[in-house]
Structure 1
Amino acid sequence: MKITRKIINKIFTGDNRLSILDKRYLPRWSVVFLDSIFCVISWYLVFFILKETPLIFPETFSFTSQILLILGVNIFFFFLFKTYSGIIRHSTFTDILKLAFSTFLATVSLGLISYLYFGTFGTKLFLNTSLVLLLLISFTFMLFFRIVVKEVYQLLKNTATNSFKKHVAIVGVDDHTISLAKALTTESNLPFRLVGFITENFDSKRYKILGKPVIPLKDNLAEIVEKYEIEGVLIISESLTGKEKNQIVEACLAQNVEIFNVPLLETWNRKEDIKNQIKPIQIEDLLERDPIAIENDSIAKDLEGKRILVTGGAGSIGSEIVRQIAEFNPKLIVILDQAESALHELEIYLDQHYPNLNFIIELANISNMYRLEMLFTKYEFEMVYHAAAYKHVPLIERNPHEAIYVNILGTVNLSVLSVNHNVKRFVMVSTDKAVNPTNVMGASKRAAEMYVQSLQNSKELETKFITTRFGNVLGSNGSVIPHFRKQIAEGGPVTVTHKDIIRYFMTIPEACQLVLQAGTMGVGGEVFVFDMGKPIRILDMAERMIRLSGLEPYEDIEIKITGLRPGEKLYEELLNDTSTSLPTHHPKIMISKVPVAQFDEINQKIKKIIKTATRHKDKEVVILLKDLVPEYKSENSEFEALDFLK
């Protein structure tokens, strides 16, 4: 098989490539010429067939004159029915019907000419039997010619394309994988050639599905890869557990076999090409996490027919919240952000994918109270999802006043307006970095949490303030995954701040599902924390991403340890620590036990922080933050010295 593929590759590549496949269609004159030749050959065959019979050919015209007359009449009908105009390799029943009419009427016309001649001169030009044979033989030749051209072209095309297609096997044998196999075998433009199914559920090689072998997987994947020349495997993530996926990926990476992830066929976007559904597996697909079950009925009850504001709506979290809310038929979604380009892209996306969604894009800054007041008055919001925030730790560490404007002042503005306009629910998206913060970003988010909690407890409010905390989100704007992906694409090096640094991760859809779920559960004042699963070592993630790209870490792509950044922790706090959290009825959501101070005290301190930030006195801002958030201890930062001033 290897030798055959090498020969085919040699024929169809480089200077030896068969250019016949590049031809758009056979020239029309050549089709007419060949059909004419078939008519001539057919008449010769008729002559030889009837020569030894008792039938006597009329000798009114010479044999050559008869051929010229037959050609003339047939060519007239070729042009009348345009039998030459179709692309031969794409011939249809209509093309064959036109050819049949052309041949039949040409034969009938020759018969009429022969009888007219007989009526005038008393002798025939053709035998009736010879004309019937001419009809049958010439039509057979011309039909056979078209079939041969069509089949030969298809054979050459399949041979050429198959030689370049990647040999792949599908993991598993069930309804989903069989449906995927049907799609692969029926779509000729896909860059994959299916060689079989790999499974542990069969112990015999005699089984075949769709003509492809079911390959039993014992222990040695290397033998299977070599025997079947497998270059890639296709897995349907939803059909496998996280552990099973990771085992398959590790085994394939060890054999330099590519891994492709395919969604369930019922979730495919039918507007897209099938090959766009089959993508190389990403690190996000390999989280060993159980699928999250959310209570759609309770979420729908809260969201259906409501007027909803989503701040930071153009960001990775905010935009996903918008997409998920869109599924619950809200009356109106107002998407607020200060990122103009990102808002524009989101608007285009929503127009294309949610044509019936009633949404409005608003370009605004949440630190501008006057602008927000106009929006709350105009739209009469019933729910607010507050996802707007500055989140990049090193950048905020250098600009503390900016964190105060957005993370604290923006939250204060939205909270006050929500109370004044009787918003039913206010759901704030916070971060694990607010737990025992070591940087300005985390401390500013903790200050915002403290404000909304104390506001909730200050008096009887119609508004329910709910805070949700989670850790790093895979694939969010500026997060480590897209950063590593870009570095790998550029040839490295991949930069990791510390060889032992670990983080908790969650996918964007998972995080937003839990935000919506927690929003329905809160009675006001809670800080909900999410089960983030197992921590992941960032260095291990970098190495795995390099291997998933078909490269070897430290050989093809260098990994460079750069040192912790300002304010960065080596280990994130455990959000689901049972000593600091209480369970809820949802297994993935807990309530953090955090002390709540008096609103008047919190409000006074926050006002002072905001006022100091407007003067760009960053050092004083941090001192005041440390006073408001006593557990805030700077690490790897220029503000570490301020901890000793207490």
Structure 2
Amino acid sequence: MKKLNDAFTTLYNGDNIVKLTELRYMPRWAVLLIDLLIVLVSIVISYLFLEKLHVRINFPNYIVWQRLLLIVVNVFFMFVFKTYAGIIRHSTFFDFFKIILSSGSTLFTILLLNYCTEFWLGKSLYLYPNLFLYFFISVSVMFFFRMITKQFFNILIDVKGSASKTKVAVIGVGDASVSLARAILHNPNYPYRLEGFLTKRSDSHKAVLLGHKIYNSDKFFKNSELVKQFDAVLIIKEIMSKHELEEWMTLALDHGLKVLKAPTVSKMRDSDLVGGIRQLQIEDLLNRRPIKIENKDVIIRHADKAVLVTGGAGSIGSEIVRQVAQFSPSLIVVLDQAESPLYELELELLEKYPEQKFKFVLADISNNYRLEKLFEIYQFSMVYHAAAYKHVPLIEENPHEAIFVNVLGTKNVALLSKKYKVNRFVMISTDKAVNPTNVMGASKRTAELFVQSLQNSEGNTTKFITTRFGNVLGSNGSVIPHFKKQIEKGGPVTITHPDIIRYFMTIPEACELVLQAGTMGSGGEIYVFDMGDPVKILDLAKRMIKLSGFTPEVDIKIKFIGLRPGEKLYEELLSNDATTVPTHHEKIMISKDPTVRFDEIEVLFKQIIKSAVRRDKVQVVTLLKKIVPEFISNNSEYESLDKVKIDAVERVATENEE
């Protein structure tokens, strides 16, 4: 009653604008009042119908009492089944079922009363056609009232928020697409408004789905006025091939539409479907189907075992830790020299895996004494060596630091793994170690050679394994986060060369490869991964700019800054003189690279570490070129060392001829 008083007060004071869009639901007393009115109208109609057919009713003198009794019984069952209690704008089949129960119980009660009056008085209180007609009319009108009210509220909410909603076209007309569209329609509070469907089929242009048109993509994108009625296209990524995804994305972006992606089909049943809609990211286009690994072998290798992960706070190392934690090892020691990332990872892992035992160690792998204490105490079964310096320009300027971490650090961890009889040592390497053109790549190739040399060294029982990856999506310092920051600042997006290309893989995918490699082979192998097709960085930048809602070279400029010291136009996973051997997994191969004996590499390691201690950059790089003969500097101050080497080779060749 207070709401009615407020309404009359508002009207009396002169504010005659009825704010219908402020309504959230219809009060229960109003629903009950309308249902009572429907009962009255249904009784009147049913009696009028019989009257028009000239049917005589029983007990005409008591017609008012008959009708009153029918109303009382029906209202009683309305209270029993609470037909008025639901929020009408969220009505479902369950609400319709309650109406059926209420009216059906009323019908059953009156039929029972009819049977009694026939037994006692010789004729029924109500005519049977009258009762069934009343039942049909009342149920139909009550249900119709709820559907109309529900649609009315939806329209009000839609009108209220239509200006701020994103008008979307759902791609496809399959079950998953229809489920997504239905979720948008049934949740008017979400910030999306369904405007239609898009498909490549040409036989559906006259059909209507969920009350919305189905547009053929070719005709749709040719009609600029039609395209302007939409803000975005909505894609379910998992039901499309990579080619289809790229095709739809290109069409949409070229016509000024945003590209949104919905959650996976499996998540539609378990989570907030529409709330999970996000803008398509460049990672979605670069992602490939993940490797399917044999988890049984991985579980056996880690369950109840002590595991060490060096570089554990980095992009690859932290993901290895997360995946290993799923296999219930007895202990995971996470080692890193970066204090803040290590602490953040500790907070995350302790919350996510409360039952798993962790040890977080702040240490530098070049400190052999610090490392040995860990090996001595924890007796590791598996060692994942992910610690490394990886940024090409920085290492080119500071080659001695690469020796301390990538070379000396690897030597320390590998030798301790041998000494303490670790079952398997898995080193994470990089495609930049293949035919290196920079100090970073050469230092990683040097580390590979040392690890391989240990396999057949005297007294060794550890299986030494190496894995090589290309670029990892989203890793610290990688190109995609760098481009995102530049786009957010308004550009320019800087690219070193218009023809530069790179391979990409996801962090989980890379780590699955590492775990699988830890269960394969007899040791000494270098595992490489089928990386798929390379990506041109210029195309990558243009797509990222478009996905951010800008136009390349108009809103965001692209600037070419030249190759950085030591940078290649393209990366390789295999050296020129390497051959590959297939494994039981079609995506994983073994690279048969040249190796060096342990006694030979040990002498060279001592020399290069001494040079690094003296901070002798030239001597360090000279020795790297001696250890890795295929190391030819590119766009670097060390190119002169290659010229000296070439001149020396030519001089020796001339002397031999003479």
TM-score, normalized by the shorter chain, greater than 0.5:
yes
Going from structure 1 to structure 2, the CA distance change for 1:433 and 1:227 (only over 3 Å counts) comes to closer
Matched residue, 1:48:
none
* Pairwise CA distance, 1:290: 4.4
Matched residue, 2:531:
532
Give, in whole Å, the separation in 1 of the partners of 2:168 and 2:611.
62
**What's the secondary structure of 2:605's corresponding residue?**
helix
Going from structure 1 to structure 2, the CA distance change for 1:298 and 1:176 (only over 3 Å counts) comes to farther
Give, in whole Å, the separation in 1 of the partners of 2:192 and 2:499.
40
Give, in whole Å, the separation in 1 of the partners of 2:150 and 2:233.
33
Matched residue, 2:572:
573
Deviations 1:469-523 (A, max 9, x none): 1111122110111101110110000000111111111122222222222221131
Q: Does the aligned pair in 2 maintain the 1:195–1:228 contact within 8 Å? A: no
1:239 paired to 2:239 = yes
Give, in whole Å, the separation in 2 of the partners of 1:89 and 1:177.
24
Deviates more, 1:480-489 or 1:227-236: 227-236
Going from structure 1 to structure 2, the CA distance change for 1:634 and 1:18 (only over 3 Å counts) comes to farther
Going from structure 1 to structure 2, the CA distance change for 1:537 and 1:376 (only over 3 Å counts) comes to same
Q: Does the aligned pair in 2 maintain the 1:435–1:446 contact within 8 Å? A: yes
Q: Does the aligned pair in 2 maintain the 1:531–1:576 contact within 8 Å? A: no
Give, in whole Å, the separation in 2 of the partners of 1:184 and 1:355.
37
Going from structure 1 to structure 2, the CA distance change for 1:319 and 1:267 (only over 3 Å counts) comes to farther
Going from structure 1 to structure 2, the CA distance change for 1:248 and 1:89 (only over 3 Å counts) comes to closer
Q: Which residue identity lines up with residue 467 of structure 1 in the other structure?
A: T
* Pairwise CA distance, 1:426: 0.8
* Pairwise CA distance, 1:208: 4.8
Deviates more, 1:598-607 or 1:187-196: 187-196
* Pairwise CA distance, 1:296: 2.2
Q: Which residue identity lines up with residue 203 of structure 1 in the other structure?
A: D
Give, in whole Å, the separation in 1 of the partners of 2:332 and 2:169.
44
Matched residue, 2:76:
none
Matched residue, 1:376:
375
Matched residue, 1:548:
547
1:251 paired to 2:251 = yes
* Pairwise CA distance, 1:398: 0.5
Going from structure 1 to structure 2, the CA distance change for 1:179 and 1:204 (only over 3 Å counts) comes to closer
1:162 paired to 2:162 = yes
1:558 paired to 2:565 = no
Give, in whole Å, the separation in 2 of the partners of 1:22 and 1:577.
72
Q: Does the aligned pair in 2 maintain the 1:576–1:590 contact within 8 Å? A: no
Matched residue, 1:298:
297
Going from structure 1 to structure 2, the CA distance change for 1:578 and 1:436 (only over 3 Å counts) comes to closer
Matched residue, 1:628:
627
Give, in whole Å, the separation in 2 of the partners of 1:584 and 1:409.
31
Going from structure 1 to structure 2, the CA distance change for 1:506 and 1:88 (only over 3 Å counts) comes to closer
Q: Which residue identity lines up with residue 626 of structure 1 in the other structure?
A: K
* Pairwise CA distance, 1:385: 1.0
Going from structure 1 to structure 2, the CA distance change for 1:551 and 1:608 (only over 3 Å counts) comes to same
1:483 paired to 2:516 = no
Q: C-alpha root-mean-square deviation of aligned residues, in Å?
A: 3.8
Q: Does the aligned pair in 2 maintain the 1:25–1:88 contact within 8 Å? A: yes
Give, in whole Å, the separation in 1 of the partners of 2:463 and 2:352.
32
* Pairwise CA distance, 1:200: 3.3
* Pairwise CA distance, 1:210: 4.3
* Pairwise CA distance, 1:344: 2.3
Deviates more, 1:186-195 or 1:401-410: 186-195
* Pairwise CA distance, 1:611: 2.0
Q: Which residue identity lines up with residue 347 of structure 2 in the other structure?
A: I
Give, in whole Å, the separation in 2 of the partners of 1:598 and 1:379.
30
Going from structure 1 to structure 2, the CA distance change for 1:566 and 1:223 (only over 3 Å counts) comes to same
Give, in whole Å, the separation in 1 of the partners of 2:530 and 2:178.
35
**What's the secondary structure of 2:169's corresponding residue?**
strand
1:397-546 correspondence to structure 2 within 5 Å? 397-546=396-545
Q: Does the aligned pair in 2 maintain the 1:427–1:465 contact within 8 Å? A: yes
Going from structure 1 to structure 2, the CA distance change for 1:637 and 1:555 (only over 3 Å counts) comes to same
**What's the secondary structure of 2:510's corresponding residue?**
helix
Give, in whole Å, the separation in 2 of the partners of 1:551 and 1:227.
17
**What's the secondary structure of 1:158's corresponding residue?**
helix
**What's the secondary structure of 1:446's corresponding residue?**
helix
TM-score (norm 2): 0.73
Q: Does the aligned pair in 2 maintain the 1:241–1:288 contact within 8 Å? A: no
Matched residue, 2:277:
278
Matched residue, 1:82:
none
TM-score (norm 1): 0.74
* Pairwise CA distance, 1:203: 1.5
Matched residue, 2:361:
362
Q: Does the aligned pair in 1 maintain the 2:287–2:506 contact within 8 Å? A: no
Deviations 1:213-253 (A, max 9, x none): 44444565344981682221122222111111111111111
* Pairwise CA distance, 1:623: 1.2
Going from structure 1 to structure 2, the CA distance change for 1:150 and 1:260 (only over 3 Å counts) comes to closer
Give, in whole Å, the separation in 1 of the partners of 2:437 and 2:567.
7
Give, in whole Å, the separation in 2 of the partners of 1:269 and 1:536.
35
* Pairwise CA distance, 1:303: 2.3
Going from structure 1 to structure 2, the CA distance change for 1:200 and 1:355 (only over 3 Å counts) comes to farther
Matched residue, 1:325:
324
Give, in whole Å, the separation in 1 of the partners of 2:219 and 2:461.
62
* Pairwise CA distance, 1:270: 6.5
Matched residue, 2:180:
180
Q: Does the aligned pair in 2 maintain the 1:179–1:265 contact within 8 Å? A: no
Deviations 1:128-171 (A, max 9, x none): xxxxxxxxxxxxxxxxxxx9999987654332223311111222
**What's the secondary structure of 1:327's corresponding residue?**
helix
Give, in whole Å, the separation in 2 of the partners of 1:371 and 1:150.
70
1:147-158 correspondence to structure 2 within 5 Å? 156-158=156-158
Matched residue, 1:12:
none
Deviates more, 1:575-584 or 1:560-569: 575-584
Going from structure 1 to structure 2, the CA distance change for 1:395 and 1:276 (only over 3 Å counts) comes to farther
* Pairwise CA distance, 1:88: 13
* Pairwise CA distance, 1:404: 0.8
Deviations 1:426-469 (A, max 9, x none): 11100011011111100100010000100112135221110001
Q: Does the aligned pair in 2 maintain the 1:494–1:560 contact within 8 Å? A: yes
Matched residue, 2:193:
193
* Pairwise CA distance, 1:180: 2.7
Gaps of at least 5 residues in structure 2 are 1-16, 34-86, 91-146, 646-658
**What's the secondary structure of 2:359's corresponding residue?**
strand
Q: Which residue identity lines up with residue 163 of structure 1 in the other structure?
A: A
Give, in whole Å, the separation in 1 of the partners of 2:544 and 2:222.
22
